[in-house]
Structure 1
Amino acid sequence: MRPRSPADIARQSLQVLARRRLPPTPENYQAVYEEVAGLLPHEAFPQRRLRHIGTLLPSQTPRQKQLTQSFLQAVEAKDWQQLQTAIVEYAQLELTGNAQATALSCPSTPLEVLPESLAEQLARLIENTVGALGPEDLRTREISMQLVEFLRQAPPPPRTLEQMLHNYSYRLSFLSQEQAQRARTIAQLLAMAVEHLRTIATQDPPLQGLAEKLQTAMEPAWTTPQLQHIQLHLKNLLFRHLELHNSQQEAHDRIKGLLAQYASHMADLSSHSSQHQDQLSDYAQRIQQAQHLGDLAPLLEAVVASGNRLARESHHAMSAMRDLQEQAQAQEQQIHQLSSRLQRMEDTSRHDPSTGALNGQGLQEAFLAESVRSERLQSPLSVAVMQAQLPATALAGPDAAQAPSALPELALCHLVQIARNTLRPQDDIGRTSDQHLVLVLPDSPSDQAAQALARLQSELAQSPLLHAQDCITVELSVGLVQKHPQETPQQTLERAARALHQAVRMGGGRVVLS
């Protein structure tokens, strides 16, 4: 009998697989191939399990690292002999008693009782985590509160706590991924809405400008102050879009009214023209039937009177059409004026037109937002009321006599500009009266705020006000307070104003901390 070739054995193995209706997996094919060829079964090398065991071996000492590396190399090479040698050497190493490795790998005193202080800190950590969860995940809140109650037992079992913390962290990992995906989806929806508003308002440059500002505000990471800026820009954008829609609707209604009047005049003109044509046809028949010349005279007078009447009606209709056209042009011009005025009102609704700082409304909104944020995060919030003081020689000069309020106004503008260049971007500055400015410094205790105001005074002394041909040094008097937890914004401003009055009475150019 001729020996079978490997190709014959492979073909017969496939036939056996088909006959036995076995799936053609590598394991089934190897078993059938060995059966057909008459070979002993080949034991598979458990590489994946041995590789996992190699990762669990201790590797604290250089000798342990060397033996672990030999073990892993034998697993990758599928060498039973090298694997056996590595295991034997590692066993002999353990028998010799490496005290340092044993102490590192297996603690002699396992933790049986969790310290009460550590359990309390873990409970507080989980309670703070619950505060960051949304109201929609009630199951995670329930698990969190159960874990807090378990931690505050006396004492909590460490093994049970380990398993509960493992399950809790596993659930939080999915929740964090879901919240991140939710934030990305919200950002994409908001970007789509802004892009849609830009697309449908190509003829309104102010609306497009507001949309670009909102897109710029959406680019950085969405921190709490950034979200407040996004909310402000979005509010302005929607307000502008609503006003534009109302203006377009009013213009549409007015144009509809003008078109209705135009159609009515055209209908009247057409009816008069039809009547005139009927009368001319009647006069033509009567002229043809006339037998005497005397009968033609009244007919000709009637034809001339009808023509004159039609001419007068046409003239009146043309005059009415010109009036309608002038009214339409006037309405269109009024719409453009109202749109420009609305844009100017939006720009100046929260900012002082002379200094560029926040006005009373804008300052109130910014101060209220920072107060809420300070109470929520329990962070310090400082408020300063400032007044720019000019030397008596500058106020007594000839220019000051011509315009007594020009120099103080210029001094305030100069102070606002220096403050914006010196202070932080998150510090808000606003104007509450003709002479007073208010500075809101978030995340700043009173001592740090006093240092920032001292830098502002130094910069103001180094940068005098240039007026006409004179260099005028502007002095700064400040009343500084730190907001109390249960204090209203109005009470904080009143305390800062009293501190400012005290600084002015002391001679000016001072920072009084109250």
Structure 2
Amino acid sequence: MQPLDIAREALRRLAMRQLQPTPENYRSLYHEIAGTKAEELFPERALKLVCSTLPRLNQAQIEFVQRLESAVGSRSWSAISGSLVGLLRAQAAPQRKWTALLKDVFKQLERNHASLSFAQKHQALQQVLDSSNGELDALYSRMSALADKWESADEAGPTPAPAGVEAVTAATDNSDAALRDLFARTLEGVVSSLLIAAPDLRDEALELGTVLREVRDMRGVDDLAARLRNLIYRLNWVVDDQAEIRAGLMSLLDLLLKNISDLVIDDRWMRGQIDALRNLCDHPISARELDEVERRLREVIERQGSLRGNIDDAKHQIKLMLAGFVEQLGSFTDATSGFGNKMEGYARTIAEADDIGALQGVIAEVISATHEMRQTTERSRNEVDTMRDRVRAAEAEIERLQLELEQTSERMRHDPLTGALNRKGLEESYAKEVSRASRRGTKLCLAVLDIDNFKRLNDTYGHNTGDEALLHLVATVRDCLRPHDTLSRYGGEEFVILLPETSIDDAVIVLQRLQRELTKRFFLANNDKLLITFSAGVTVVLQDEQQSSAIERADVAMYQAKATGKNRVVVASADTVSA
């Protein structure tokens, strides 16, 4: 039978047997009529989609996903079954006794060892934690080995009791001396520097730092503890006083900003500055925010000064035109007054004339004067029309400059659509954060974000919906970032985030948290619920590194995230970083 005949017969039997017209029933009848064996369908696309969503947080997960993807690619159910069985067996394996291990590690950490100081043990534990890279099995085995090593440290070789006691005492004394020195530095360097407005407490903190280094017995410790408690009590009062003073200053500043419109001619020019300062009053102020607002106000003041000069020039031109108009009006008045006087004279001459022939000269003069007056009137009207057009043009220019003046403070360093920093704002923030990270010895991470499938969203729903999607992303990111993190729009649907004082692992966690938050917030486009996702690349900014280099490295990682399934975060590889 021909395939067309087989298809018709299959449809007929579906109706005769009163079966549901499903693809499975039709497929079964088709192969029954054709006398062939139905091949089992393999859901390769669906399984690949499942594989793309699986986590890859450690080496075991990465290896499992790779095995599963290989099994799906070979369309082998047995290989898929083997991968899943292996995963379940690994899950069913006896769990590590972490509680017992941690208790043992802390116990050995607190013990006094003859050959190990507390600082050495702390350093060894930190090295184990840093070298495990999130691998729990490796971490467990290394911590177990470290605990065993510490437990057998005192048993490595017997030592005479006096020497052992002296060694322990020396280690303890060294540890105590280091701790006392650290505490004294805190009092002398940190606490005293915060008490500039309270000189008596500052002197007390400096004196306690000196006493702390010299204390040797318990009596001295008790006296020192009493003085420290008294200092802390008095510090609490100072902190409360400073908080009250700050609240009062913020209240005064807010009151001034609320009434500043009464102090200026046109408060629309001040709107950007007022908003920036009032936002500063709504939450605790940081040095970064003060820096940001100061730089922003300086730019705005400089730009607005130029615009105000242009407005003043335009107003001056209007004044000159009005003065010319008044002068022209005076000339026109003189001309009409002279014309009236002539007409009165001509009327008297005509009334007194006895012969009509004598009026020919008078009539000629009347016609000449009337013609001259008409020319003067037309010339004056033309000049008035020209002046009116110039005044309207000047007024339009003033209105344009005033509008630009109102918008200046919003568009100098910020993207007009999203409100995020633009490229200029990013350059300044990047330079500031790199300098601060170098000065403080802290990490600075940079991430490049790109919205997934943004072109398809624009083509399907229009550019207005695309703009709304950008606003949706920016609002979500701002809700999740810390106050000192920086968000900027780098171009199109691409954004850059600066994460100061953040390790690369923490930066990945921040970005993944953003992705999870986006999945909780549906985006509505023409009553359709859409899920906005992004792919991201993140890197550590090297010391004094140029912005373009760091962004290029993160951008490469971002495209790797897109190539491996989208909605992912990829860290710039070590080769890319070294390059």
Give the 3 Å change call, closer, same or farther, for CA 205–442 of structure 1 in structure 2.
same
Instruction: Name the CA shift for 1:247/1:132 in 2 (closer, same or farther; >3 Å).
Output: farther
**Aligned letter for 1:334?**
E
The residue aligned with 1:367 is 430
- Aligned equivalents of 1:116, 1:460: Cα separation in 2: 48
* Kept in 2: contact 1:390–1:472 (CA 8 A): no
- Asked if the contact 1:269–1:317 (Cα under 8 Å) also holds between the matched residues in 2, the reply is yes
In 1, the alpha carbon distance for the partners of 2:349 and 2:469 equals 94
Question: 1:226: how far off?
Answer: 3.3
Instruction: Report the equivalent of 1:317.
Output: 380
Query: 2:443: which partner in 1?
Result: 380
Please tell me whether the aligned partners of residues 388 and 475 of structure 1 are also in contact (alpha carbons under 8 angstroms).
yes
Which residue does 2:401 correspond to in 1? 338
**Structure 1's 130 and 243: CA in aligned 2 closer, same or farther, altered over 3 A?**
farther
1:447 to 484, 489, 505: 505
Paired amino acid for 2:403: S
Q: Which runs of 5+ in 1 are unaligned?
A: 1-113, 138-142, 159-175
Q: What does residue range 358-507 of structure 1 map to in structure 2 within 5 Å? A: 358-390=421-453, 395=456, 400=459, 412-468=470-526, 470-507=528-565
How far the C-alpha of 1:385 sits from its partner, in A, is: 1.1
Greater C-alpha Rg: 1
Structure 1 residues 408-433: Cα deviation after superposition (integer angstroms, max 9, x where no partner)? 76654443333233333443222213
After superposition, give the CA deviation of every residue in 1:275-312 in whole Å (9 maximum; x if it has no partner): 43665577678779978653332023313432442244
- For 2:571, the equivalent position in structure 1 comes to 513
What is the CA–CA distance in structure 2 between the aligned matches of 1:418 and 1:189, rounded to whole Å? 33
| Aligned 8 A contact 2:448 2:536 in 1 | yes
Distance 1:183 1:406 in 2: 44
Q: TM-score, normalised by structure 1?
A: 0.57
Task: After TM superposition, list the pairs within 5 Å mapping 1:84-163 onto structure 2.
Answer: 122=184, 126=188
Output the CA distance in 2 between the equivalents of 1:115 and 1:460. 51
CA contact (8 A) 1:207 1:237 kept: no
- Equivalent runs, 1:253-268 vs 2, <5 Å: 253-268=316-331
Counterpart in the other structure of 1:306: 369
Structure 1 residue 496: deviation in Å?
1.9
Cα distance change on mapping 1:197 and 1:475 into 2, 3 Å: closer
Identify the residue that residue 308 of structure 2 maps to in structure 1. 245
Q: Which runs of 5+ in 2 are unaligned?
A: 1-175, 198-202, 215-219, 221-238, 573-579
Letter in 1 for 2:568: R
* Structure 1 residues 253-290: Cα deviation after superposition (integer angstroms, max 9, x where no partner): 12112112212312322442454366557767877997
Structure 1 contact 198–208 (Cα < 8 Å) conserved: no
Q: In the aligned structure 2, how far is the partner of 1:273 from the partner of 1:410?
A: 65
The answer on whether the counterparts of 1:499 and 1:513 sit within 8 Å (CA) in structure 2 is yes
**Residue type of the partner of 1:224?**
A
Q: Which of 256, 269, 274 is the aligned partner of 2:332?
A: 269
Residues 1:326 and 1:204: Cα distance change in structure 2 (over 3 Å): farther
Q: How many percent of aligned residue pairs carry the same amino acid?
A: 24
In 2, are the aligned partners of 1:400 and 1:407 still within 8 Å (CA)? no
| Superposition RMSD in Å | 5.5
Q: Does the residue aligned with 1:238 lie in a helix, a strand or coil?
A: helix
**In structure 2, distance between residues paired with 1:294 and 1:353:** 83
In the TM superposition, 1:210-249 aligns within 5 A as 210-218=273-281, 220-232=283-295, 234-235=297-298, 238-239=301-302, 241-242=304-305, 245-249=308-312
Cα deviation 1:441-488 (Å, max 9, x = unaligned): 233322222222222222223434444465444443221223334334
User: Could you tell which deviates more after superposition, 304-313 or 285-294?
Assistant: 285-294
Where does residue 350 of structure 1 map in the other structure? Answer: 413
What is the alpha-carbon distance in structure 2 between the residues aligned to residue 473 and residue 181 of structure 1?
46
Change (3 A) 1:380 1:200: same
Measure the CA separation in 2 of the matches of 1:115 and 1:475: 54
| Separation in structure 2 between the aligned mates of residue 192 and residue 402 of structure 1, nearest angstrom | 46
Q: Does the Cα contact within 8 Å between 2:304 and 2:408 map onto a contact in 1?
A: no
Q: For the Cα contact (< 8 Å) 1:390–1:408, is it kept in 2?
A: no
Alpha-carbon separation, structure 2, partners of 1:197 and 1:243: 22
Task: Determine the C-alpha separation between the residues in 1 that align with 2:396 and 2:364.
Answer: 48
1:490: how far off? Answer: 3.2
- SS of 2:491's equivalent? coil
CA distance in 2 between counterparts of 1:402 and 1:195 reads 42
Q: TM-score, normalised by structure 2?
A: 0.51
SS in 2 for 1:432: strand
Secondary structure, counterpart of 2:550 in structure 1: helix
Indicate conservation of the 8 Å contact 2:299/2:412, yes or no: no
Code of the aligned partner of 2:297? L
Residues 269 and 405 of structure 2 are in contact (CA less than 8 Å); yes or no, is this contact kept in structure 1?
Answer: no
Q: Could you say if the C-alpha distance between residues 402 and 441 of structure 1 is closer, same or farther in structure 2, counting changes exceeding 3 Å?
A: closer
- CA distance in 1 between partners of 2:524 and 2:258 (Å): 45
